[in-house]
RNA sequence: GGUCCGGUAGCUCAGCUGGAUAGAGCAUCAGCCUUCUAAGCUGAGGGUCAUUGGUUCGAAUCCAAUCCGGAUCACCA
């Protein structure tokens, strides 16, 4: 069904062309806004663009257009022109029709397939340490955007490219070999990803000591950093791994296995999942043949020492290395190969990379190179760039131990949910299991909402000391609103169903709710186009705000008459569905009671 | 230095395809629970939309310059 705003655009364009055949306006030429609360009306057509072209004064044009709209279209019941703005009042019947059609639609907002296939790569962790708070932003964003696109009609593949090889893993490995004494997650009771992370920290501690020791013997710092024995040993491990050394390969598999088990626990707690896993150990050698082709095409060039480059200076960028002089590949090379592999696997129309803004340049170059190479996957590449999550003290650095651990954060949020629920005396009538579930829903919901409510590209500062609020612009507020509605719906005994509304029967808050509810599919579409879950955070919050005002002002179960009761119950039902569905797109559950 | 991103209320953020007197939340202050859940509602105070210039009937929004903050520009990943 066409949205109300689009109906207005169509009607206004038609009316203008009827009144002024020379106007030749299209739907897209009509600017429709919500009418400001201080004026009478629901939606406003901005007249200024036509004042000039049609050489009419705003008042005359507004009156003519308004009269024509009212005469030709029963969805409008009144109009008023104020200073170039044509304020239109919608018929209650229009909104009643909308309500009748949707109030029982549990999947309200879900669009039919649009034939578009898109891959979202997100999470993509390193396997040498547990997830931290900053990673959560990536994970929540990726999952949510995938869900939004899916609901908006796209076929979506959620992919995870695991960075399971490289020097960083070898650092954990060498520290474990030196100091682990055979420790395992089972023997220590430590979650696998944390155990491996502990040895990564250990590596850095030892490395610092060794460097300091060398400096004390008179070495230059830079030299000492290169010669520290533990670093040399880690580099040796990497070489042995690449050479296929069985012993090393087995340890690598074992420790990665610990990490995956740990990650799985965290992913599961957070409700995150993937359709396709890629591992860099399988992809890091890809891309070399693309380089060969690029050389033949003349897109790439070889320097005297044998290294291969692309010249992007004409595009305002630099020269970029693609193969080292010794023929080995760099990060970019393997990303070129992986992009091609993904496209071969799925042939998707677009490929979204959820990656921090520190890699803006890298992603720009990646896309540009693929375009220059004429790869069909190139144009569909989109970098969903997001800002870093920082602490008041600055960036989180895992090597310096200033990270906020993801698992700790989850525990803390759930603990906080429990504390606040108990403090508010809201635990009555729940079983222990129900309470555990409720605390999880509230705690994790708060965490997700907090990280999704800000536009992705903005960096955000998180102050753990202040902790996260459960009031105001939060998931908790929205969840609470849902629980309030459900409480009413549980008590309603009558069967309610389609109804007819006469003129001017809707109270202002009833009408506002219906207008907002009607906008929901448009919000999903916007969020999908912008890859921006925060649009849904804002929408769900505004809807809950309006509902709470409505709840305060109007009785539902004890409404003035049966008609009103039925109407309000239907509005309640659709509001609950819309809140639940909108929050589901963010990966946030809503409770029946809280 | 080149490129990119950000700068809106004390704090955290919406608003940015140009439209009416720039909005929320938190914090502060004042009200509202014998009535469907007060994790709520109502109201008040709080602004040079970084600065300057330009385009326009109209600029927080577009353009240019400047200032501030951040990212990035490795034969690292």
A74 Cβ partners below 8 Å, 6+ apart? A91, A93
Q: How far apart are CA A236 and CA A242, in angstroms?
A: 10
Residue A396 has pLDDT above 80, yes or no: no
Domain assignment present for residue A64? The answer is yes
Six-digit token pair at A230? 């533990």
The whole-angstrom separation of Cα A133 and Cα A450 is 12
**A46, closest nucleotide (Cα–C1'):** B19
Three-state SS for A277?
strand
pLDDT at A504: 62
The CATH code of the domain that includes A59 is 3.30.1360.70
Q: CA at A288, C1' at B66: how many angstroms apart?
A: 46
β pairing state of A32-34 and A460-461: unpaired
Question: Which comes out higher in pLDDT, residue A463 or A307?
Answer: A307
Average pLDDT score, chain A: 92
Query: At residue A517, does pLDDT exceed 80?
Result: yes
Q: Which two tokens stand for residue A576?
A: 């609950």
Q: What is the pLDDT of residues A255-287, one digit of tens each?
A: 999 999 999 999 999 999 999 999 999 999 889
Tell me the sheet residues that pair with A405. Answer: A132
- Please check whether residue A524 lies inside any domain of the structure: yes
A523 Cα distance to chain centroid: 14
Cα distance between residue A134 and residue A151, in whole Å: 26
Three-state SS annotation for A303-355: CCCCCEEEECHHHCCCEEEEECCCCCECHHHHHHHHHHHHHHHHCCCEEEEEE
Confirm whether A193 is domain-assigned: yes
* The pLDDT value given to residue A537: 97
| Distance CA A38 to C1' B48 in A | 26
Q: What is the pLDDT of residue A495?
A: 64
Under DSSP, the state recorded for A132 is B
Q: Domain boundary at A90, A125, A153, which?
A: A90
- The nt closest to A474 (CA vs C1′) is B25
Q: What is residue A1's three-state secondary structure?
A: coil
Determine if residue A226 is left, alpha or beta; phi over 0 gives left, psi from -120 to 50 gives alpha, anything else beta: alpha
Q: How far apart are CA A143 and CA A382, in angstroms?
A: 16
Distance A487 CA to B34 C1' (A): 20
Q: Which nucleotide is nearest to A167 (CA to C1')?
A: B77
Q: Kindly report which amino acid residue has its CA closest to the C1' atom of nucleotide B21.
A: A38
Nearest nucleotide to the CA of A416, by C1', is B39
Taking the C-alpha atoms of residue A396 and residue A129, their distance in angstroms, rounded to an integer, is: 14
Residue A240 to residue A167: CA distance in whole angstroms: 12
**What's the confidence (pLDDT) of residue A496?**
66
pLDDT surpassing 90 at residue A464: no
Q: Is residue A30 part of a domain?
A: yes
Which residue is nearest nucleotide B37, judged by alpha carbon to C1' distance? A484
Domain-embedded: residue A380 = no
pLDDT for A532-587, tens place per residue? 999 999 999 999 999 999 999 999 999 998 889 989 999 999 999 999 999 999 99
**CA geometry: angle A425, A428, A433, nearest 5 deg:** 115
> What values do phi and psi take at A325, rounded to 5?
-60, -30
For residues A206 and A68, state if they share a domain.
no
Domain count, chain A: 3
Q: Do A411 and A521 sit in the same domain of this protein?
A: yes
In this prediction, residue A466 has a pLDDT band, given cuts at 50, 70 and 90, of low
Residue A319 (CA) to nucleotide B31 (C1'), in angstroms, measures 67
- Nearest residue to nucleotide B36, by CA–C1' distance, is A488
Q: Last residue of some domain: A90, A113, A128? A: A90
Looking up tokens 């030196």 gives A178
Distance A528 CA to B59 C1' (A): 28
Which residues, including other chains, have CB under 8 Å from residue A304's CB and lie 6 or more apart?
none
* Interatomic separation, CA of residue A409 and C1' of nucleotide B41, rounded (Å): 32
Backbone angles phi, psi at A420, to 5 degrees: -70, -35
- Rounded to whole angstroms, how far apart are CA atoms A354 and A394? 22
- Out of A256, A290, A321, a domain closes at A256
Q: Which nucleotides of B are covered by protein (CB under 7 A)?
A: 2-6, 12-15, 19-21, 24-27, 35-42, 57-58, 70-77
Are the C-beta atoms of A89 and A76 separated by less than 8 Å? yes
> Same structural domain for residues A71 and A184?
no
pLDDT the model gives residue A83: 86
pLDDT in the model for residue A544? 97
Nucleotide nearest to A422 (CA to C1'): B39
Provide, in whole angstroms, the distance separating residue A477's CA from nucleotide B29's C1'. Answer: 23
For chain A, give the percent of residues with pLDDT over 70: 96
Judge contact between A163 and A125, C-beta under 8 A. Answer: yes
> Nearest nt to A534, CA vs C1'?
B14
Within 10 Å of residue A254's Cβ, how many Cβ atoms?
13
* CA geometry: angle A82, A79, A23, nearest 5 deg: 80
Residues A415, A515, single domain; the answer is yes
Q: List the structure tokens of A138.
A: 């990536």
**A177 and A58 assigned to the same domain:** no
Are both A419 and A552 inside the same structural domain? Answer: yes
For residue A427, what are the domain limits?
406-584
Residue whose CA is minimally distant from B14 C1': A538
From the CA of A435 to the C1' of B34: give the distance in Å.
30
Domain harbouring A513, CATH code: 1.10.730.10
Question: Which nucleotide has the shortest C1'-to-CA distance from A31?
Answer: B19
Distance A544 CA to B51 C1' (A): 39
Residue with minimal CA–C1' distance to B5 is A457
Sign for the CA dihedral angle at A268, A272, A278, A284 comes to negative
Each residue of A323-361: pLDDT tens digit? Answer: 998 888 888 999 999 999 999 999 999 999 999 999 999
Q: How confident is the model at residue A465 (pLDDT cuts 50, 70, 90)?
A: low
Q: How far is the CA of A460 from the C1' of B39 (A)?
A: 25
Residue A483: nearest nucleotide (C-alpha to C1'): B37
Give the nearest nucleotide to A479, CA to C1'.
B39
Lowest mean pLDDT among A4-18, A111-125, A305-319: A305-319
What pLDDT shows up at residue A469? 82
Q: What's the pLDDT at A326?
A: 87
Distance A396 CA to B66 C1' (A): 32
């Amino acid at each position: 069904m066409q949205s109300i705003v689009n109906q207005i655009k169509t009607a206004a364009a038609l009316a203008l062309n009827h009144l002024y055949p020379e106007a030749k306006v299209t739907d897209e030429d009509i600017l429709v806004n919500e009418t400001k609360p201080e004026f009478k009306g629901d939606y406003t057509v901005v007249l200024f663009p036509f004042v000039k072209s049609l050489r009419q004064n705003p008042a005359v044009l507004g009156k003519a257009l308004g009269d024509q709209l009212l005469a030709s279209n029963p969805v409008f019941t009144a109009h008023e022109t104020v200073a170039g703005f044509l304020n239109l009042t919608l018929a209650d019947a229009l909104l009643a029709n909308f309500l009748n059609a949707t109030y029982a639609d549990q999947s309200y907002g879900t669009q039919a397939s649009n034939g578009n296939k898109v891959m979202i790569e997100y999470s993509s962790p390193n396997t040498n340490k547990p997830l931290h708070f900053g990673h959560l932003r990536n994970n929540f964003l990726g999952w949510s955007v995938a869900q939004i696109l899916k609901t908006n009609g796209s076929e979506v593949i959620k992919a995870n490219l695991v960075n399971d090889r490289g020097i960083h893993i070898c650092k954990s490995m060498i520290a474990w070999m030196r100091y682990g004494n055979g420790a395992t997650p089972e023997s220590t009771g430590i979650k696998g990803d944390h155990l491996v992370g502990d040895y990564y920290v250990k590596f850095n501690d030892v490395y610092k000591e060794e460097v300091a020791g060398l400096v004390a013997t008179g070495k230059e710092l830079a030299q000492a950093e290169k010669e520290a024995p533990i670093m040399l040993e880690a580099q040796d491990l990497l070489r042995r791994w690449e050479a296929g050394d069985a012993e090393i390969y087995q340890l690598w598999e074992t420790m990665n296995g610990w990490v995956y088990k740990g990650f799985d626990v965290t992913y599961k707690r957070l409700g995150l999942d993937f359709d396709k896993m890629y591992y860099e150990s399988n992809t890091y050698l890809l891309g070399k043949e693309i380089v060969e082709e690029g050389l033949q095409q003349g897109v790439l060039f070889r320097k005297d020492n044998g290294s291969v480059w692309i010249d992007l200076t004409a595009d305002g960028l630099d020269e970029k290395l693609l193969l080292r002089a010794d023929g080995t590949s760099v990060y970019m090379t393997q990303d070129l190969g992986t992009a091609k592999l993904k496209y071969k696997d799925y042939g998707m129309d677009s490929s979204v990379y959820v990656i921090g803004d520190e890699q803006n340049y890298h992603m720009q170059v990646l896309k540009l190179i693929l375009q220059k190479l004429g790869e069909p996957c190139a144009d569909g590449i989109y970098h969903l760039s997001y800002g870093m999550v920082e602490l008041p003290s600055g960036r989180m650095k895992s090597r310096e131990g200033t990270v906020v651990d993801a698992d700790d954060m989850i525990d803390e949020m759930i603990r906080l949910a429990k504390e606040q629920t108990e403090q508010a005396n809201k635990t009555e009538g729940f079983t222990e299991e129900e309470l555990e579930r409720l605390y999880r829903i509230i705690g994790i919901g708060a965490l997700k909402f907090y990280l999704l409510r800000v536009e992705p590209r903005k960096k955000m500062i998180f102050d753990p000391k202040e902790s996260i609020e459960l009031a105001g612009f939060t998931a908790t507020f929205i969840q609470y609103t849902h629980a309030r509605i459900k409480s009413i719906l549980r008590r309603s005994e009558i069967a309610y169903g389609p109804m007819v509304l006469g003129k001017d029967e809707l109270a202002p808050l009833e009408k506002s709710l219906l207008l907002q509810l009607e906008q929901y599919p448009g919000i999903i579409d916007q969020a999908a186009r912008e890859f921006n879950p925060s649009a849904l955070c804002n929408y769900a919050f505004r809807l809950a705000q309006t509902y709470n005002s409505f709840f305060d002002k109007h009785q539902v179960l004890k409404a003035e008459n049966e008609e009103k009761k039925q109407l309000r119950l239907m509005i309640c039902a659709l509001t609950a569905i819309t809140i639940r569905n909108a929050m589901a797109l963010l990966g946030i559950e809503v409770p029946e009671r809280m």
